[in-house]
Amino acid sequence: MSVETMSQAVQTETTFSQDLLQQGIALSQEGNYAAAIAQFDQLLQQEPSNALAWYEKGNALVDGAQLEAAIACYTEAIHLEPQTPTYHYALGWAAYNLGQLEQATASFQQVIELQSDFPNAYYSLGLSFYCQGDYEAAIGALSHALEQHSGIADLWYSQGLALHASGRYEGAVKHYNRALELNPEDAATYSCRGAALMALADYGAAMNSYDKALSLNPEDAEAWYQWAQCKKKLGQVKDALLGYEKALGVNRNHGEAAYGRGSALLKLGEWEGAVASFDWVVQLQPDHFEAWFSRGIALKNLKQFEAAIASYDQALELRPEDHRVWANRSSVLISLKRYEEALASCDKVLALKPDDVNALNNRGNALFHLGQLEAAIACFEKILEINPDDAKAKQNRSVIVKRLQGHGP
């Protein structure tokens, strides 16, 4: 074969390879990923060392949601051309989306070593650090990204998230504000700003931020819930109740909104509605301690004492050392005239919290009904040591002293 013939053959082969590559890219852009991958495979059978073909096949696999296979292709491309930052970035992004965060971090760091101004490298590195809970590293990477591209709202938003997660709420608010200057129609940023303002106890400003978020996305159950929490913190219980109901209207399985609704109804003295809300909470989350505890309170107020005891017992299975539950349980047992059991509950409280006035009062009452008058007086005297102005303890002590002196009923 002459030199000219050989040259023509090589040129024909190169043109054919380029055609396969371009056809594969075009098919991938059209969304026909299976056909695109077939084209790249045909090319790679002829040119297994074609790094670009491995890379483009990886892209088609990513678009077709085959991330593991895509990573294998990107890894092969990097093996062939280790100095190409685009390949490292593609590997990092695929790994990030698979939750392989250490691999993603290493890939993005490699991109920066090869090309420090590679588009989105610092941003992606910051996201990877953030998802690993390394907020300081995330803040550092995102600061670099903002130095390179200060006009991107999502960068300011992401830095706000990292600052928020590290407890720097004022800094978070400033970054959210800048993000909103660049993109004033982003509901998520308003919600996150609201959360940071809540952490700063600026509930009025937080509520205003949630108002804006909800004007943009009224179907956000979490935003309604947080709006209601702001109202609760401001003492606006009826408004808070409205917010919880709005949240549940969007997502009836929002357990914390259901609990918030029950708590608001409890505060408003609407016992039956409170019980219904807490019933729903414990159906959604059987290990929700506060719901079982609060349910017991509502049932006690409805004078459904046996049901209240059962609810407190469920709470104690979750937190057997919670003195509040034992104290409330003892009070209900006194209402049921089960004084020995009430004493046992009071003793449990006082072992956990020796100066618990409610438990001392309940213990004194139980002892009185059991005829142990001197022991009952000792309970009320202990209360008066803690609080000399406790009128109920003074009255109870006086009644029992008169009984001992033969002057009382």
323-409, what's its fold?
1.25.40
Per-residue pLDDT of the chain (409 residues; tens, 9 = 90+): 443 443 443 344 567 678 888 998 999 899 999 999 999 999 999 999 999 999 999 999 999 999 999 999 999 999 999 999 999 999 999 999 999 999 999 999 999 999 999 999 999 999 999 999 999 999 999 999 999 999 999 999 999 999 999 999 999 999 999 999 999 999 999 999 999 999 999 999 999 999 999 999 999 999 999 999 999 999 999 999 999 999 999 999 999 999 999 999 999 999 999 999 999 999 999 999 999 999 999 999 999 999 999 999 999 999 999 999 999 999 999 999 999 999 999 999 999 999 999 999 999 999 999 999 999 999 999 999 999 999 999 999 998 988 888 755 5
- Asked if residues 262 and 291 have their Cβ atoms less than 8 Å apart, the reply is yes
Could you tell me the residue ranges of all domains in the chain? 237-320, 323-409
Neighbour count for residue 117 (Cβ, 10 Å): 10
Euclidean distance between CA atoms 403 and 198, whole angstroms: 55
Q: CATH: 3.40.50.720, 1.10.645.10, 1.25.40.10, 1.10.150.120. Which one for 237-320?
A: 1.25.40.10
Q: H or E segment at 39?
A: helix 33-46
pLDDT of residue 20: 85
pLDDT of residue 118: 95
The whole-angstrom distance between residue 204's C-alpha and the CA centroid of its chain comes to 22
- Asked if residues 380 and 397 have their Cβ atoms less than 8 Å apart, the reply is yes
Question: pTM for the whole thing?
Answer: 0.85
pLDDT of residue 400: 92
Euclidean distance between CA atoms 51 and 91, whole angstroms: 13
Distant-in-sequence contacts of 285-288, Cβ < 8 A, 24+ apart: 285/255, 287/318, 288/255, 288/259
Does 323-409 match 237-320 at the fold level? yes
Give me 129's structure tokens. Answer: 């650090």
Give me 382's structure tokens. Answer: 């202990």
DSSP 8-state assignment for residue 13: H
